[in-house]
Structure 1
Amino acid sequence: MVTIDLNADVGETTAGDPVADDAAMVRLISSANVACGFHAGDPHDIARTVAAAVGNGVTVGAHVGYRDAPGFGRRFIDYAPAELADEVLYQIGALDALARAHGSAVRYVKPHGALYNAIVHHREQAQAVIDGIRAFGELPVMLLPGGVAVDLADKAGLRVIPEAFADRNYHADGTLVSRREPDAVITDPEVVAARVLQVATTGAVTAVDGTELRVAAESVCVHGDSPGAVELARGIVERLTADGVGIRSFL
């Protein structure tokens, strides 16, 4: 059977208000990118999300980001590399402590927001992120294919999990269309479901100009904070199941 991992960003509570229905999302996905408190999340709500993920057999990953709660981690910050490496390590360790309290552990890392986008081309920050992960251990890292972080992770001996996005548009060069542009996010459930099926069965995704990009993704992200996120995820699961594609963690 063809299988694909579905991941979603969860645990992103801000000022006590969740941006997504985490309890519903973790019943649909196979990997959970759990906020670590820097771009969003507080210890109690993060722990509750971890417990829900573990209870549903979902793999727990650390969604590390810039220390920028007011900007939700979506603004570039020009860090000193050593400081960024320490903050990545700190976030992984904090989440791992909560995960272990619920009988699990952090099994992979995925950078969030502006950090995720920066390390596609920003070599110093990419190296800092890899250094922070490597200081914790040999955790797989989920990345956009083709960026400098992929090469640096390979050199550090870390497994790279190539990722595609269900509800984001791509440029022909493989980068994501900026959220500042009107066509960045796809909201049509049928289009989103068809895109995930395309990734799972062909290893490709269609860019905004019609270019077919080879992504060979092992995981597909469904953004938890997108409009109607749970409905989008449910539609994806139903479409994949109907076409004989299984949903399974990459581990």
Structure 2
Amino acid sequence: MPEIFLNCDLGEWESPAQTAALMPYLHMANIACGGHAGTSESIAHCQQLADAQKPFAVSTGAHPGVADINGSRGRNLPEGFTVDDFTSLLELQLTRYISGADLNHIKLHGALYHLTETDANFRHAFLAFVRHKSLISIVCLAGGEVAAEAESRDLPIIPEVFLDRHYQSNGQLLERKHPDAVITDSSLITDRLEQLTHTNSLTAHDGSLIQFPDHYDHLTACVHSDSPNSLEILKAARSYLNQE
């Protein structure tokens, strides 16, 4: 049975009060660092909140993304986006990030997360960048291409599943434009956690089963800060894991 840690993308579009409300229920916080969202002030604020948690501080990591385009919130790539643009973006945002927060892991946001799953050139560039930074764990899609290639290169990963998003049968997330893309029912969240902890699997939107690799001894489960009912979802998820 894999150990499960809760993570959340923070410093994005939630209010400072919402950030503070969510933090006590997390094990890991992915902090936006000035691409799709985030400022030097919000990075430092998130780190202060993470450090203040008792009895253990919340582990913090960088959450780089592409700039917001027409309200896409970093889910669309700029036209003509290249590998060089990608690596420059990572360098710039991590430089900004480490001036205000501890770098324990990295999780790409939105379009970049999906780009490295689907394009080998960007995936290779990302893993080369992480290797150069040394000892940063990569939060990446459980059972995905980044996870598999990172493991083949002996890079540390934290495989990720999504509690508040439905999956397609191929293991990718259901597109956000789909009316059932986001899960808001906290009781369904605990059902998903129970399935994860006991069968290492999740049920896709079409009813098919997504089985995650057996060798994972830990997983991180994501709840998005801007999802409806995110606080209640995290409370229910943390309560279930504490009982387990």
Instruction: Deviation per CA, 1:100-146: give whole Å up to 9, x if none.
Output: xxxxx210011111111222111122222223322322311011133
In the superposition, the TM-score normalised over structure 1's length comes to: 0.86
How far 1:235 moved relative to its partner?
1.4
The alignment status of 1:190 with 2:187, answered yes or no, reads: yes
Contact 1:20 1:225 in 2 (8 A): no
SS at match of 1:33: strand
User: Aligned in 2, Cα 1:153/1:237: closer, same or farther, shift over 3 Å?
Assistant: same
Q: Which moved more, 1:27-36 or 1:42-51?
A: 42-51
Specify the alignment match of 1:232 in structure 2. Answer: 233
Contact 2:2 2:219 in 1 (8 A): no
Specify the alignment match of 2:96 in structure 1. Answer: 94
Contact 1:108 1:139 in 2 (8 A): yes
The alignment status of 1:51 with 2:48, answered yes or no, reads: yes
Specify the alignment match of 1:138 in structure 2. Answer: 135
Contact 2:117 2:146 in 1 (8 A): yes
User: Take 2:17 and 2:72, find their aligned partners in 1: how far apart are those partners?
Assistant: 17
User: Aligned in 2, Cα 1:141/1:198: closer, same or farther, shift over 3 Å?
Assistant: same
Specify the alignment match of 1:201 in structure 2. Answer: 198
Specify the alignment match of 1:153 in structure 2. Answer: 150
User: Aligned in 2, Cα 1:93/1:126: closer, same or farther, shift over 3 Å?
Assistant: same
How far 1:87 moved relative to its partner?
1.3
Specify the alignment match of 2:106 in structure 1. Answer: 109
User: Take 1:206 and 1:194, find their aligned partners in 2: how far apart are those partners?
Assistant: 10
Contact 1:10 1:20 in 2 (8 A): no
In the superposition, the TM-score normalised over structure 2's length comes to: 0.88
User: Aligned in 2, Cα 1:74/1:20: closer, same or farther, shift over 3 Å?
Assistant: farther
Instruction: Deviation per CA, 1:8-47: give whole Å up to 9, x if none.
Output: 011114xxx6387111111001000110111101111221
Contact 1:7 1:221 in 2 (8 A): yes
Specify the alignment match of 1:85 in structure 2. Answer: 87
Contact 1:60 1:107 in 2 (8 A): yes
SS at match of 1:218: strand
Contact 1:10 1:32 in 2 (8 A): yes
User: Take 1:119 and 1:143, find their aligned partners in 2: how far apart are those partners?
Assistant: 10
**Which structure 1 residue ranges, 5 or more long, are not aligned?**
100-104, 246-251
SS at match of 2:118: coil
How far 1:173 moved relative to its partner?
0.9
How far 1:215 moved relative to its partner?
2.2
**Which structure 2 residue ranges, 5 or more long, are not aligned?**
none
User: Take 1:54 and 1:213, find their aligned partners in 2: how far apart are those partners?
Assistant: 35
User: Take 1:155 and 1:97, find their aligned partners in 2: how far apart are those partners?
Assistant: 31
Count of equivalent residues? 235
How far 1:2 moved relative to its partner?
6.9
Contact 2:6 2:220 in 1 (8 A): yes
> What amino acid maps onto 2:7 in structure 1?
N
**% same residue:** 32
> What amino acid maps onto 1:76 in structure 2?
L
How far 1:177 moved relative to its partner?
0.2
User: Aligned in 2, Cα 1:199/1:218: closer, same or farther, shift over 3 Å?
Assistant: same
Contact 2:184 2:228 in 1 (8 A): yes
